[in-house]
């Protein structure tokens, strides 16, 4: 009788422990309760702003190849193909431009342009107005892209690493998806976001991924270039890290004996 009680108690404890842990696994718990007007109020298409040390590629497209060539430096500067009436850069990689600590790039012919703090579209408009009509008579099509828009995800995820974001927009959930999602040992309620500003100062923000109102905080929900997410291990993983080979062996023996005891009780009751 005592064996039955002991076995039942052990199974009940295991069940309750399992139920308690699953409550800490979901993201954005009860997000469906957010009001539509709240979601609409904070809804926006995030646009990254250019920061110091960013690497940019800039292309200037015109219907006359010779007009845009001086602004498309590369190993084969001025190499063009005609597409839909515009001469587009082809045949080689464009020269990249590094934004200096003061926010400037040194652009061909024009000279220094301050692009820090601008969105990609705003930088395109700045370059367009700087070369037309001062240097070319035709209104060009200017395209600015980030060459180094990346985020890093470390800690309790399945594929930690650094990830390049092609569309220059990345939410916290996007970053976790690229990293293969958190493991069951990751602390969803206390994720660390490390961010660096234009002056090199780092800030640390703690994020609760179970809080649905996270989606109403665009400055945190959307990651900036070079952001680092660190997922800390929960107590279960931390405790397991201190269990040595001897403790593991003892737990294995106890587990085996408990299974045998349960089997014998079932057979001979």
Mean pLDDT for 118-138 is 95
- Residues 198, 216, single domain; the answer is yes
Confidence of residue 268 (pLDDT cuts 50, 70, 90): low
CB 62 within 8 A of CB 138: yes
- Residues 67, 37, single domain; the answer is no
Residue 81 has pLDDT above 60, yes or no: no
Segment (H or E) for 106:
strand 104-107
Mean pLDDT for 170-182 is 95
Question: From CA 117, how far away is CA 49, in angstroms rounded?
Answer: 5
Q: What pLDDT shows up at residue 235?
A: 77
* SS3 annotation, 31-70: HHHCCHHHHHHHCCCCCCECCCCCEEEEEEEECCHHHHHH
Q: Which of 92, 112, 146 is the last residue of a domain?
A: 146
CB 229 within 8 A of CB 176: yes
Question: From CA 151, how far away is CA 62, in angstroms rounded?
Answer: 34
- Residues 186, 135, single domain; the answer is no
- Residues 135, 9, single domain; the answer is no
Mean pLDDT of the chain, nearest integer: 81
Q: Which of 146, 176, 198 is the last residue of a domain?
A: 146
Q: How many domains does the chain have?
A: 3
- Residues 95, 223, single domain; the answer is no
Q: Residue 106 maps to which CATH number?
A: 3.30.1950.10
Residue 267 has pLDDT above 80, yes or no: no
Question: From CA 95, how far away is CA 56, in angstroms rounded?
Answer: 9
Listed residue (222, 182, 220, 181) closest to 203, CA to CA: 220
6-10 contacts at long range (C-beta below 8 A, 24 or more positions apart): 7/258, 7/261, 7/262, 7/265, 10/258
Listed residue (89, 84, 189, 80) closest to 145, CA to CA: 89
The string of pLDDT tens digits covering residues 108-120 is 999 999 999 999 9
- Residues 155, 42, single domain; the answer is yes
Mean pLDDT for 12-33 is 63
Q: List the single range of 38-52, 124-138, 240-254 with lowest mean pLDDT.
A: 240-254
Q: Which residue has the higher pLDDT, 164 or 249?
A: 164
Segment (H or E) for 239:
helix 235-241
Q: What pLDDT shows up at residue 263?
A: 62
Q: Which of 146, 171, 200 is the last residue of a domain?
A: 146
Residues β-bridged to residue 98: 55
- Residues 81, 129, single domain; the answer is yes
Residue 254 has pLDDT above 90, yes or no: no
Segment (H or E) for 251:
helix 245-268
Confidence of residue 249 (pLDDT cuts 50, 70, 90): low
- Residues 142, 153, single domain; the answer is no
Q: What pLDDT shows up at residue 240?
A: 61
- Residues 130, 253, single domain; the answer is no
Residues β-bridged to residue 151: 163
- Residues 248, 224, single domain; the answer is no
- Residues 223, 257, single domain; the answer is no
- Residues 67, 99, single domain; the answer is yes
pTM (2 d.p.):
0.71
Domain that holds residue 109: 55-146
Only one residue has tokens 């700087």, namely 130
Residue 213 has pLDDT above 70, yes or no: yes
Q: What pLDDT shows up at residue 183?
A: 94
Q: What pLDDT shows up at residue 234?
A: 86
């Amino acid at each position: 009788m005592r064996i039955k009680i002991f076995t039942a108690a052990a199974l009940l404890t295991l069940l309750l422990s399992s139920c308690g842990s699953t409550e800490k696994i979901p993201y954005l718990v009860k997000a469906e309760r957010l009001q539509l007007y709240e979601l609409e109020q904070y809804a926006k298409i995030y646009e990254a702003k250019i920061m110091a040390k960013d690497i940019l590629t800039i292309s200037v497209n015109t219907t006359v190849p010779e007009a845009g060539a001086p602004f498309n430096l590369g190993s084969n500067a001025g190499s063009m193909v005609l597409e839909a009436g515009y001469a587009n850069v082809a045949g080689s990689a464009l020269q990249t431009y590094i934004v200096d600590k003061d926010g400037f790039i040194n652009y061909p012919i024009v000279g220094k342009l301050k692009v820090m703090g601008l969105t990609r579209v705003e930088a395109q408009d700045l370059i367009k107005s700087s070369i037309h009509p001062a240097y070319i008579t035709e209104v060009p099509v200017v395209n600015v892209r980030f060459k180094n828009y990346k985020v890093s995800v470390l800690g309790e995820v399945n594929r930690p690493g650094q990830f390049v974001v092609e569309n220059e927009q990345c939410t916290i959930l996007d970053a976790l998806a690229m990293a293969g999602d958190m493991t069951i040992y990751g602390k969803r309620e206390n994720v660390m976001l490390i961010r660096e500003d234009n002056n090199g100062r780092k800030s640390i923000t703690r994020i609760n991924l179970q809080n649905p109102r996270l989606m109403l905080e665009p400055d945190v929900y959307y990651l900036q270039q070079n952001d680092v997410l660190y997922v800390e291990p929960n107590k279960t993983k931390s405790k397991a890290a201190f269990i040595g080979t001897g403790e593991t062996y003892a737990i294995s023996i106890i587990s085996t004996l408990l299974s045998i005891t349960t089997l014998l009780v079932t057979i001979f009751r």
